[in-house]
Structure 1
Amino acid sequence: MTLKPKPLAPDSTLLDAWDLRWPERRLLLLCLLCMTLGFLMVLGSGLAAGRALHPLDLLPLFVYALCLLVMHLSLVAARFQGDQILLATLAFLAGFGLLAQYRLGAFDTADPAGPGLLLFPLGVLLMLTACVALMHGRYERLAAGLWIWGGLSLALVAVLLLIGQRYRGAVYGAGLITPTELLKVTVVLFLASFIDRHAKPLSNWGKGFPRPPLRDLLPLAGFLAVLAGLLLFQRDLGMLIILGVTLLVMLFAGTGRIGYLVLGALGAAGLGALVLAFFSHGQSRIAAWRSPFDDPTGNSWQILQGLSGMYSGGLWGEGFGRGNPEYTPIAQSDFIYSVIGEELGFVGCALVIVFFLIFFSRGLGIADQTRSSFGKLVCVGLVSVLATQTFLNLGGVTKFIPLTGITLPFISHGGSSLLTGFISLGLILAISESAPGSARRQTVTTKRARAGAEAPRRRVREAAPDLHPDPSPGEGRSPAPRPDARASGTAPPRRTSRKKPVARSKDPLD
Structure 2
Amino acid sequence: MTDSSPRATGPKTGAIKRLHLPQKLRNLELFLLLIACAINAGSIVLVQLGALGHIDTQLVLLGAGLSVLVLALHIVMRFTARDADPFILPIVTVLNGLGIAMIYRIDIAEHESGWASASVRQIVWSALAILCAITVMLVIRNHRILFRYTYIAGLVAVVLLLLPLVPGLGHEVNGARVWIGIGDFATFQPGEIAKIALAVFFAGYLVQNRDSLAMVGTKFLGMTFPRLRDLGPILVVWALSMSVIVFQRDLGTALLYFGLFLVMLYVATGRLSWVVLGLSLFIGGALIASQTLDYVNGRFTNWLDAFNPAVYSANGGSYQLVQGLFGLANGGLIGTGLGQGRPDITPVPQSDYIVASLGEELGLAGIFVILCLYLLFVARGFRIGFAGQDDFGKLLAVGLAFVVALQCFIVIGGVTRVIPLTGLTTPFLAAGGSSLVANWIIAALLLRLSDTVRNQPRLVV
Whether the 8 Å CA contact 1:7–1:20 is kept in 2: the answer is no
Corresponding residue for 2:279?
A: 265
Q: Flag the 1:229–1:76 CA change in 2: closer, same or farther, 3 A.
A: same
- 1:196 equivalenced with 2:202 (yes/no): no
Map of 1:296 onto structure 2: 312
Q: What letter matches 1:38 in structure 2?
A: S
Q: Distance in 2 between matches of 1:29 and 1:195?
A: 40
For these two proteins, the number of residue pairs brought into alignment is 426
Q: Aligned-pair RMSD on alpha carbons?
A: 2.6
- The Cα of 1:127 is off from its aligned counterpart by 1.3
| 2: CA distance, partners of 1:38 / 1:8 | 43
What is the distance in 2 between the residues matched to 1:61 and 1:139? Answer: 31
Corresponding position: 1:410 with 2:404: no
Q: How do 1:14-53 residues align onto structure 2 when only pairs under 5 Å count? A: 20-48=25-53
Q: CA deviation at 1:304?
A: 0.9
> What amino acid sits opposite 2:217 in the alignment?
W
Alignment partner for residue 384 of structure 2, among 366, 385, 398? 366
**What are the residue-to-residue correspondences of 1:64-463 with 2, within 5 Å?**
64-78=66-80, 80-105=82-107, 108-110=113-115, 115-135=121-141, 138-162=142-166, 163-171=169-177, 172-174=179-181, 175-176=185-186, 177-203=188-214, 204-207=216-219, 208-212=223-227, 214=229, 218=232, 221-222=235-236, 225-226=239-240, 228-294=242-308, 295-298=311-314, 299-436=317-454, 441=455
**CA distance in structure 2 between the partners assigned to 1:157 and 1:426 by the alignment:** 23
Distance across 1 between alignment mates of 2:282 and 2:264: 16
Q: 1:111 to 1:219 in 2, by over 3 A?
A: closer
Instruction: Tell me which moved more, 373-382 or 64-73.
Output: 64-73
- 1:416–1:350 distance in 2 versus 1, CA, 3 Å: same
Q: Distance in 2 between matches of 1:333 and 1:81?
A: 35
Q: CA deviation at 1:205?
A: 2.7
Q: Which amino acid aligns with 1:419?
A: V
Return the offset for 1:232. 2.8
> 1:139·1:430 contact (CA, 8 Å) conserved in 2?
yes
Query: Alignment partner of 1:323: what SS?
Result: coil
Q: TM-score, normalised by structure 2?
A: 0.86
* SS class of match (1:241): helix
- SS state of the match for residue 42, structure 2? helix
Give the AA of the match of 1:166: E
Structure 1 unaligned regions, length at least 5? 1-5, 446-510
Supply the distance in 1 between the matched residues of 2:68 and 2:218 (Cα, whole angstroms). Answer: 57
Following TM superposition, by how much is the alpha carbon of 1:64 offset from its aligned partner in structure 2, in angstroms?
Answer: 2.9
Q: Cα–Cα, structure 1 residues 271 and 9, in superposed 2: closer, same or farther, change >3 Å?
A: farther
- Larger helix share, 1 or 2: 2
CA distance in 2, matches of 1:406, 1:16: 39
**Whose Rg is larger?**
1
Structure 1 residue 234, shift from structure 2 partner: 1.3
The 1:133–1:318 alpha-carbon spacing in structure 2 relative to 1, beyond 3 Å, is same
The answer to whether the Cα contact below 8 Å between 2:63 and 2:123 also exists between their aligned partners in 1 is no
CA contact (8 A) 1:334 1:393 kept: yes
Q: 8 Å contact 1:127–1:425 — kept in the other structure?
A: yes
**1:270-296 superposed Cα distances (whole Å, 9 cap, x missing partner):** 023112221101111110111112222
CA distance in 2, matches of 1:143, 1:288: 43
- Aligned amino acid, residue 160 of structure 1: P
Matches of 1:402 and 1:11, distance apart in 2? 50
Q: Deviation per CA, 1:142-188, whole angstroms, max 9, x where unpaired?
A: 11222211211111122220131223211121132211211110111
Please give the per-residue CA displacement for 1:8-47, whole angstroms capped at 9, x wherever unaligned.
76996xx996555111111111112222221221121133
The answer as to whether partners of 1:317 and 1:342 remain within 8 angstroms in 2 is yes
Residues 401-452 of structure 1: per-residue CA shift (max 9 Å, x gap)? 110111110001111111100111111111110233xxxx4xx99xxxxxxx
Q: What runs of 5+ residues in structure 2 fail to find an aligned partner?
A: 1-12
C-alpha distance in structure 2 between counterparts of 1:7 and 1:121, whole Å: 39
1:279 and 1:93, CA in 2 relative to 1: closer, same or farther beyond 3 A? same
- Distance (whole Å) between structure 2 residues aligned to residue 346 and residue 223 of structure 1: 37
Give the counterpart letter for 2:370 in structure 1: V
Q: How has the CA–CA distance of structure 1 residues 55 and 37 changed in structure 2, closer, same or farther, with 3 Å as cutoff? A: closer
Q: 1:290 to 1:224 in 2, by over 3 A?
A: closer
